[in-house]
A and B are shown apart, each in its own frame.
Chain A
Amino acid sequence: MELSGAQIIWESLIREGVDTVFGYPGGTVINLYDALLDYPAIHHVLARHEQGACHMADGYSRASGRTGVVIATSGPGAMNLVTGLANAMLDSIPMVAITGQVRSNLLGSDAFQEIDVTGVTLPITKHNYLVQRPEDIAPAIREAFAVARTGRPGPVLVDITTDAQKLKGNFDWDAAAPKRHLRHIPRQPSEEALEQACRLIRHAKRPVILAGNGIRLSSAEAELCTLAEKLNVPVITTLMGINALPASHPLNMGMLGMHGESWTNKAVQGADLLIALGMRFSDRVTGDLKTFAPHAKKIHVDVDSSEIDKNVKVDVPVVADLRAALTAMLPRLEAMEHDEWLGHIRSTKGEAQAEAILGHEGLIQAPQVIHEIWKATEGKALMVSDVGQNQMWEAQYYKHEHGLITSGGLGTMGFGLPAAIGAKMGRPDREVWIVAGDGGFQMNIQELMTIIQEGLKVNIAVVNNGYLGMVRQWQELFYERRYASTPILSPDFVKVAAAYGIAGESVSSFDDVAPAIQRARAESGSYLIEFRVEPELSVFPMVPAGASLHDMLRRPEHAKATAKKKAGKR
């Protein structure tokens, strides 16, 4: 079938099951957008900035499990995708980015809006393509989708010249099937590795499962749950692994790492076996590598062999699709009992976390806001965070039943609002909340208009403490309270929202927190609440960068309670 390159792009996307794309038009994709009008099956979401579009496609993918698609023009349009692609790369999110490129005979001439996009995005995509002929478009797009979601997922970029979009070429979808084979992606674990892993598990007295983002990426939530229950083993999650097991599950002990809870970090340090599932021992998880889990043997299950021994030397690597590995492991293991070990971890829990959200005089404490949103939504909302203190509080105080969307690896401020828009597009049935700080919210605040243009219902909570809080916290703790450029002014967020056509209110006393959350939920359209909170609150516990995982700065509430206990004993 003879079609224009632009038509081939849409035909290919439709055949890949795409019905929603995010993007922004421009000179080198004008043919593509022109052809879009003839494809009503595709819904195009017009962002206000290409970075916003890219995070939307990312949030869409995380929420729906489908491959997110973003479109941008050459030069500045493509460059604005860079942060979003890097974000998706570090969190292994399947995405396909389609960018326009200058005419092929102008390539390399520094033409208007020409940038070497495949060169720039080389380290932040799983793979990328430069396509200069219409007949090469379908094979590139088809392979791009396959690459994006095979093995360890990630973003793939297809850069297509304007002449390739405009000219006609033969479109044959069947002939466009990938001819290359993806090598070195063993889906099935080796027998030997499985047997060694099971032997370690059978002999462990204090085992811990560390669950990461791989659980969701390989849809292994049910297998994880079955394994944990069968072995009676505590599950501790990374930030990205919060989706792995509902927070209400009695074996879910919570998050570990720099802002993990004291009992989870101590459990890891005291464990004799770590069963690491689809996580990558990031520095934010391990603290000082020399003192990380010193007594533990380590099993590491991951689909990416380059993660094995990268940060932490492991005893048994199992390179396989996580779900396949867990499925193969389950019948080999007998039910076990670790009540004493579980009891020990639970006994170290303490009340510090609860105390931090109990009544305070004066200003609202940010954790209270998160706690109230959790109470109102019964833990069932699809939560999206921005980056910084708000992100850590959201991880700690919202007890996620299913779903936290957060920028884990790249820590991209400004991710939250567009990601929430993408998430709502991907899962219109879910109640979506975005909790952002006053800093990050202003980074992509323009996307409020996309919410209106798309007629979306998103609940927006801006936790305003007047600081770039996480950096301020480091300045307070490690830089003698020298607050360099962290105090930040904000506009009147309620008025800003109103200007965009979004209702909202500002809350500054604790008594108004819960009612405001109810009003947001009851509102038919989107709703923004600005919470004016205690300016100088820090996130605890905290493992200072490079310190040992058990070497935590504890919550002030914990310090007070410990002091009281000691005084009582005397």
Chain B
Amino acid sequence: MSHVFVVYTDDEPGVLNRVTSLFRRRGFNIHSLTVGPTEHSGISRMTIVVETDEAGAKMAHAHLEKLLNVQRVEQLSRFPSIVRDLVLLRVKADPDIRPQIMQLGTAFRAAVVDIAADSLILECTGSAGKIDALLDVMRPYGILEIGRTGAVAMARGAGFFGVQSSYTASESLAPQR
């Protein structure tokens, strides 16, 4: 099954490589991975969707926490949460069929962001399921190109997440012999 991790990391060169290398060498299959800045400068936020079982998710979590550049890991699948994908979709659309496609797009709250002579681009956000459905509907018209972001996720409720580690007893890096 899919497990969604939100991972706060240092915004440093090579951090993405450390995370993906970890998943690769431990044999996990990354379904999607998105990275972006956060409200704190120097901290990035990743949403990683991994196909694995419960035990695998626990392992992935433990391994992620061992990376020095990882500030915090949360498994969103444990909480009520919002998971969103964004898709840009180039669909074949001759002028006569254009209104039909635009109408169908409206049903998915997809916006038309570009129109060319015989095609148009739709932009749509939503759950992976909704986007899959939009793709199914558009397929008969001829999908020319799909650009999909992968999941970005956040827990529901008030201020549940942040960079600050939930582990209060942080260990100082002072030398110990």
Contact = CB atoms under 8 A, between A and B. Distances in A.
A16 B177 CA distance: 11
Contacts of A306: 59, 62-63, 65-66
A370 B124 CA distance: 73
Contacts of A149: 175-177
A342 interface: no
A181 B172 contact: yes
Given A180-B68, A184-B65, A305-B65, A16 B170 contact: no
Interface of A: 16-17, 65-66, 118-119, 122-123, 126-127, 130, 143, 145-147, 149-151, 177-178, 180-188, 304-306, 308-310
A178 B174 CA distance: 8
Contacts of A304: 66
Contact of B21 (A123, A182, A185): A123
A186 B65 CA distance: 12
Contact of A178 (B18, B62, B65, B173): B173
Contacts of A178: 172-173
Contacts of A310: 59
B165 A183 contact: yes
6 contacts: A66-B177, A126-B68, A177-B173, A182-B172, A183-B71, A306-B66
Given A146-B175, A181-B170, A183-B171, A123 B68 contact: no
Interface residues of B, number: 27
Contacts of B62: 305-306, 308
A309 B58 contact: yes
A150 B66 contact: no
Contacts of B174: 146, 177
Interface string B59-74: 1001101101001100
A433 B13 CA distance: 45
B117 interface: no
B17 A182 contact: no
Contacts of B172: 178, 181-182
Nearest to A147: B68
A118 B14 contact: yes
Contacts of A309: 55, 58-59
B66 A181 contact: no
A310 B27 CA distance: 13
Interface of B: 13-14, 17-18, 21, 25, 55, 58-59, 62-63, 65-66, 68, 71-72, 165, 167, 169-177
Contacts of B13: 130
Contacts of A177: 173-174
A185 B171 CA distance: 7
Contacts, number: 72
Contacts of A17: 177
Nearest to B60: A306
Given A123-B21, A183-B171, A186-B169, A150 B176 contact: yes
Contacts of B72: 183
A143 B173 contact: yes
Which of A16, A178, A184, A309 has the most CB atoms of chain B within a 10 A radius of its CB? A184
B171 A122 contact: no
B18 A183 contact: no
Given A178-B172, A186-B167, A305-B62, 5 more contacts: A17-B177, A145-B175, A149-B175, A182-B171, A310-B59
Q: Which 9 A-B pairs have the closest CB atoms?
A: A178-B173, A306-B62, A146-B173, A181-B170, A184-B65, A127-B68, A305-B62, A182-B171, A185-B171
A122 B18 contact: yes
A177 B175 CA distance: 10
Contacts of A143: 173
Contacts of A151: 171
A145 B13 CA distance: 21
A118 B13 CA distance: 11
A181 B173 contact: yes
B167 A182 contact: no
A151 B170 CA distance: 12
A347 B141 CA distance: 80
B173 A180 contact: yes
A182 to B, nearest CB: 5
B176 to A, nearest CB: 7
Contacts of B18: 122
B12 to A, nearest CB: 10
A178 B171 CA distance: 11
Nearest to A313: B55
A304 B165 CA distance: 18
Contacts of A305: 62, 65
B35 to A, nearest CB: 18
A308 B63 CA distance: 11
